[in-house]
């Protein structure tokens, strides 16, 4: 039906099944298939059943979800992905697709606002308007391939700068100067510093705004003034996202009201606040894809890839091949990212369970109930206690998951690390990342 | 309205081909590609070579899909998007371009900030247009050779800017000239339009090239008109021109 492993998003009107758009996968599903996917959901509806997910015998998976009785999103994932042992537990795939649908809906709200999506008087017009969301939706689909985990974890991808106090101060000062409380500095697509209020946005919003910044930054533009609706906090009133590229790869963003104008903020304030920090910003850029400052010492040859989640703050850092002497031994870097995602899905759904942070503001309770219901693991349900650690040995790498009150660590090591040593490597890695940085 | 300078009368045309310009163009290149400058950066010359930088704001205007975003990317030497994604707000691109004035042989860096705003966004959000107009120095009106309606709409677009107090350089740009086989607009019509409106019409197309030749004519034309406008303004009411020291970091 679809190419190996590719995911396609279908969007239709909920009540009449008119196709609105499709994204992802180079080859579109035939119209008849789209019609059937919608039809089978409608059939269930007529019987008082909500069809939320289904699986083909070759590992393909379909997930349905209706948003606000107005828009239906369907995610279709072609099976046969070369996932090896990690992929063996298909159950987790559902979590990924459900979050994807939620993210896509949030993209649509962010660009168009909820009213535009729910009061559809003219389907043709809606179809046309929805095109403005494609850039962001495609960015989201693309992100997974580039080492961005936030759309999966709903935790903000962070970069830990070598001199956090300096950049924090600059972000706070600059944000204040544009009459806002919401500001953040994005380096290499990850958040290097943000104001307190920025961190109090819903985690999905933080993730989405990061994706938007990556998209705008990738186009090479110097500054932007983007109207954005906040899916949780302000779905019907647009705010302005101002973004300034300080250096290529380092962007500062603020959410603000009608003033100041882009021209004014840029010509008066950007240089004033950031010129003195040019060198500091270069140091942040030098951290690169490692996302961790040089002071964090990892047991280099033993760490293929890692993801550390701060559970309470809903932030994460991740990197692949943190070593400087990049050994060409397989698996390749892109493959490591894929394995890290798969292991996260595996461990998070099967053992750790995922927590959604309490959503601030008035999210419809119907939605909250939904996101909890389907993906909590069968395994966990059978036990009275919470697993704290888990490991997995595959043909490509070894994986270790570790959970504390505050953090979760997902670690990949080469096969050469003895299995009995994994726990040791994991504990050391976690404390190396968190101890000095205060992450 | 200021009388237009004939092309090549104010700045040295094809200066990028002269050997003496190499030192200047090297500052805007990186590994044979155009260098990208963040807002905190600018081209850095050796300390003894004092070069002034002049700042201008240039707005791209035209209906959705004519090629505003692509033109901005092309002029700045960025990769041109092959997908059409609607621009859902204002995006600006900064580029630097060295120019040699014919009059006195002085070299200037033009810092052009190109403002690109999606038409649908303009319609949906009232605050965007005033922001685009604020202190604008030039407007480029775009039409596409493959879209007749975009050509027919030009007088409307231009009319929005007709207040005589506006001190704004206006130019018309025909995009997708490379697709002239599918052209909806004839050369004759373009010539007639040019005469009627008294505005220059430039043409661009998507022929792949990474050299400067592709954009040099365009940027020199634009620079020339901007400079001319400033000189006229300075003689009329001696208002400050766009001089600003190029801050070096
Ligand atoms: N062949 C050709 N295609 C172009 C040219 N300029 C833009 N396009 C294409 O036209 C579409 C719309 O361009 P875009 O710059 O996004 O339009 P905008 O809506 O005005 O910003 C894109 O698919 C571009 O690749 C051109 O000069 N030649
Ligand atoms: Mg555009």
Q: What is the pLDDT of residue A363?
A: 38
DSSP code, position A226: E
Q: 3-state secondary structure string, chain B? A: CCCCCCCCCCECCCHHHCHHHHHHHHCCEECCEECCCCCCCCCCCCCCCCCEEEEEEEEEECCCCCCHHHHHHHHHCCCCCCCCCCCCCEEEEEEEEEEEECCCCCEEEEEEEEEEECHHHHHHCCCHHHHHHCCCCEEEEEEECCCHHHHHCHHHHHHCCCCCCCCCEEEEEEECHHHHHHCCCCHHHHHHHHHHHCCCEEECCCCCCCCCHHHHHHHHHHHHHHHHHHHHHHHHHCCCCCEECCCCC
Q: What is the pLDDT of residue A56?
A: 80
Above 80 in pLDDT, residue A80?
A: no
Is B135 near ligand 1, meaning CB less than 6 Å away?
no
Find the residue in A nearest to B84 (Cα). A135
CB contact under 8 A, B38 and A227: no
Above 50 in pLDDT, residue B248?
A: no
Is B67 near ligand 1, meaning CB less than 6 Å away?
yes
Is the pLDDT higher at B1 or at A402? A402
Phi, psi angles (nearest 5°) of residue B170: -120, 135
Ligand 2 geometric centre to CA of B61 (Å): 10
Helix or strand or coil: residue A144?
helix
Is the pLDDT higher at A411 or at B159? A411
Above 70 in pLDDT, residue A81?
A: no
Tell me which residue has tokens 């130019």.
Answer: B171
Q: Rounded to whole angstroms, how far apart are CA atoms A143 and A309?
A: 18
Above 60 in pLDDT, residue A90?
A: no
Query: What's the distance, Cα to Cα, between the start and end of chain B in Å?
Result: 39
Could you say which of A240, A248, A266 has the minimum Cβ distance to residue B36?
A248
Mean pLDDT of chain A: 86
B72-114 pLDDT, tens digit per residue, is 999 999 888 778 899 999 999 999 999 999 988 999 999 999 9
Above 70 in pLDDT, residue A417?
A: yes
Is B61 near ligand 1, meaning CB less than 6 Å away?
no
Mean pLDDT of A46-64: 86
B113-164 pLDDT, tens digit per residue, is 999 999 999 999 999 999 999 999 999 999 999 999 999 999 988 888 766 6
Above 50 in pLDDT, residue B206?
A: yes
Find the residue in B nearest to A241 (Cα). B89
- Any residues with CB less than 8 A from the CB of B69 and at least 6 apart, and which? A219, B81, B85, B87, B91, B116
Mean pLDDT of chain B: 87
Give all domains of chain A, ordered by start, each with its CATH number: 7-143 (3.30.450), 161-290 (3.30.450.30), 300-437 (3.30.450)
Q: The domain B15-244: what is its CATH number?
A: 3.40.50.300
- Say what the alpha-carbon torsion angle B208, B210, B212, B213 is, to the nearest 10 degrees: -30
Q: Which residues of B touch A270 (CB under 8 A)?
A: 39-40
Ligand 1 geometric centre to CA of B236 (Å): 40
CB contact under 8 A, A135 and B85: yes
- CA-nearest residue for atom 22, ligand 1, is B84
Mutate to test the interface with B, among A219, A258, A277 (most CBs of B within 10 A): A219
Nearest CA-CA partner of B183 in B208, B199, B157, B203: B203
* Residue B206, phi-psi category: left (phi > 0), alpha (psi -120 to 50), beta (remainder): alpha
Q: Which residues of B touch A250 (CB under 8 A)?
A: 38
Residues of A with CB under 8 A from a CB of B: 111, 129, 131-132, 134-135, 138, 216, 219-227, 238, 240-241, 244-248, 250, 258, 261-264, 266, 270-271, 274-275, 278, 281
- Any residues with CB less than 8 A from the CB of B97 and at least 6 apart, and which? B28, B109, B110, B112, B219, B223
Q: What is the pLDDT of residue A281?
A: 97
Question: Is the CB of residue A314 less than 8 Å from the CB of residue A357?
Answer: yes
- Of A76-85, A291-300, B6-15, B88-97, least confident by mean pLDDT is A76-85
Q: Rounded to whole angstroms, how far apart are CA atoms A400 and A402?
A: 7
Give percent above pLDDT 90 in chain B: 59
- CA-nearest residue for atom 9, ligand 1, is B67
Q: What is the pLDDT of residue B7?
A: 80
Going through A175-328 in order, the beta strands assigned E by DSSP cover 182-187, 190-194, 223-230, 234-247, 250-256, 305-310, 315-320
Mean pLDDT of B3-15: 84
- CA-nearest residue for atom 23, ligand 1, is B84
Ligand 1 geometric centre to CA of B91 (Å): 16
Helix or strand or coil: residue A205?
helix
Nearest CA-CA partner of B219 in B4, B13, B2, B9: B13
CB contact under 8 A, A226 and B135: no
pTM of the model: 0.90
Above 60 in pLDDT, residue A83?
A: no
Question: Is the CB of residue A63 less than 8 Å from the CB of residue A101?
Answer: yes
- Model confidence at A283, pLDDT cuts 50, 70, 90, reads very high
- Say what the alpha-carbon torsion angle B191, B195, B200, B202 is, to the nearest 10 degrees: -10
Mean pLDDT of A180-201: 97
CB contact under 8 A, B40 and A281: yes
Burial degree of B201 (CB within 10 A; 0-12, 13-18, 19+): middle
Mean pLDDT of A375-394: 73
CB contact under 8 A, A244 and B39: yes
- Of A20-24, A119-123, B231-235, least confident by mean pLDDT is B231-235
Q: Residue A380: how many CB atoms within 10 A of its CB?
A: 15
A241-282 pLDDT, tens digit per residue, is 999 999 999 999 999 999 899 999 999 999 999 999 999 999
């Amino acid at each position: 039906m679809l190419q190996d492993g590719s995911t396609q998003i279908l969007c239709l009107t909920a009540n009449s099944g008119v196709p609105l758009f499709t994204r992802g996968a180079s080859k579109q599903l035939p119209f008849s298939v789209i019609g059937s996917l919608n039809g089978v959901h409608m059939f269930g509806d007529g019987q008082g059943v909500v069809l939320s997910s289904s699986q083909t015998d070759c590992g393909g998976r379909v997930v349905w979800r209706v948003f606000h009785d107005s828009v239906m999103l369907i995610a279709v994932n072609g099976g046969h992905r070369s996932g090896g042992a990690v992929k063996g537990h298909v159950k987790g795939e559902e979590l990924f697709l459900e979050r994807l649908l939620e993210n896509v809906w949030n993209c649509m709200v962010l660009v168009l606002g909820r009213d535009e999506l729910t009061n559809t008087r003219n389907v043709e017009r809606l179809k046309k308007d929805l095109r403005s969301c494609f850039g962001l939706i495609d960015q989201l689909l693309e992100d997974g391939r580039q080492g961005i985990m936030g759309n999966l974890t709903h935790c903000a991808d962070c970069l830990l700068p070598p001199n956090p106090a300096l950049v924090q101060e600059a972000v706070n000062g600059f944000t204040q100067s544009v009459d806002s409380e919401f500001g953040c500095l994005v380096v290499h697509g990850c958040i290097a510093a943000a104001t307190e209020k920025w961190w109090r946005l819903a985690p999905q919003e933080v993730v989405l705004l990061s994706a938007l910044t990556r998209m705008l930054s990738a186009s090479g533009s110097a500054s932007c003034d983007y109207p954005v609706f906040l899916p949780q906090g302000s779905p019907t009133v647009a705010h302005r996202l101002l973004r300034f590229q300080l250096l290529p790869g380092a962007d500062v963003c603020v959410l603000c009201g009608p003033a100041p104008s882009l021209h004014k903020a840029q010509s008066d304030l950007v240089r004033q606040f950031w010129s003195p920090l040019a060198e500091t910003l270069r140091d942040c850029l030098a951290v690169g894809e490692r996302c961790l400052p040089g002071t964090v010492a990892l047991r280099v040859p033993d760490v293929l890839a890692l993801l550390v989640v701060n559970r309470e703050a809903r932030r994460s850092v991740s990197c692949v091949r943190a070593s400087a002497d990049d050994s060409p031994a397989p698996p390749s870097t892109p493959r490591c990212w894929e394995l890290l995602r798969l292991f996260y899905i595996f461990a998070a759904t099967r053992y750790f369970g995922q927590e959604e942070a309490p959503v601030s503001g008035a999210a419809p309770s119907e939605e909250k109930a939904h996101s909890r219901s389907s993906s909590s693991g069968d395994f966990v349900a059978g036990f009275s206690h919470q697993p704290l650690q888990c490991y997995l040995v595959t043909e490509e790498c070894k994986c270790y998951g570790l959970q504390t009150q505050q953090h979760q660590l997902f670690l990949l090591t080469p096969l050469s690390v003895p299995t009995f040593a994994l726990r040791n490597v994991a504990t050391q890695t976690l404390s190396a990342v968190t101890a000095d940085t205060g992450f | 309205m200021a009388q237009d300078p004939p092309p090549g009368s104010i700045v040295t045309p094809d200066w990028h081909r002269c050997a003496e310009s190499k030192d200047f163009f090297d500052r805007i290149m990186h590994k044979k590609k155009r260098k990208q400058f963040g807002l905190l950066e600018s081209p850095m010359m050796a300390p003894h070579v004092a070069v002034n930088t002049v700042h201008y704001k240039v707005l791209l205007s035209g209906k959705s899909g004519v090629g505003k975003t692509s033109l901005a990317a092309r002029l700045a030497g960025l990769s041109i998007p092959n997908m059409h994604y609607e621009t859902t707000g204002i995006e600006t691109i900064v580029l630097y371009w060295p120019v040699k004035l014919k009059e006195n042989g002085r070299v200037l860096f033009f810092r052009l900030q190109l403002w690109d705003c999606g038409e649908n966004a303009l319609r949906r959000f009232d605050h965007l247009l005033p922001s685009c107009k604020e202190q604008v120095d030039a407007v480029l009106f775009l039409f596409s050779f493959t879209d007749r309606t975009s050509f027919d709409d030009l007088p409307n677009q231009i009319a929005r800017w007709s207040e005589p107090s506006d001190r704004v350089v206006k130019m018309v740009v025909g995009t997708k000239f490379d697709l002239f086989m599918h052209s909806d607009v004839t050369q004759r019509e373009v010539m007639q339009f040019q005469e009627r409106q008294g505005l220059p019409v430039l043409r661009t197309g998507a022929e792949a090239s990474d050299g400067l030749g592709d954009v040099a004519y365009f940027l020199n034309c634009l620079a020339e008109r901007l400079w001319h406008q400033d000189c006229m303004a300075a003689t009329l009411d001696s208002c400050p021109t766009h001089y600003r020291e190029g801050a070096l970091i």
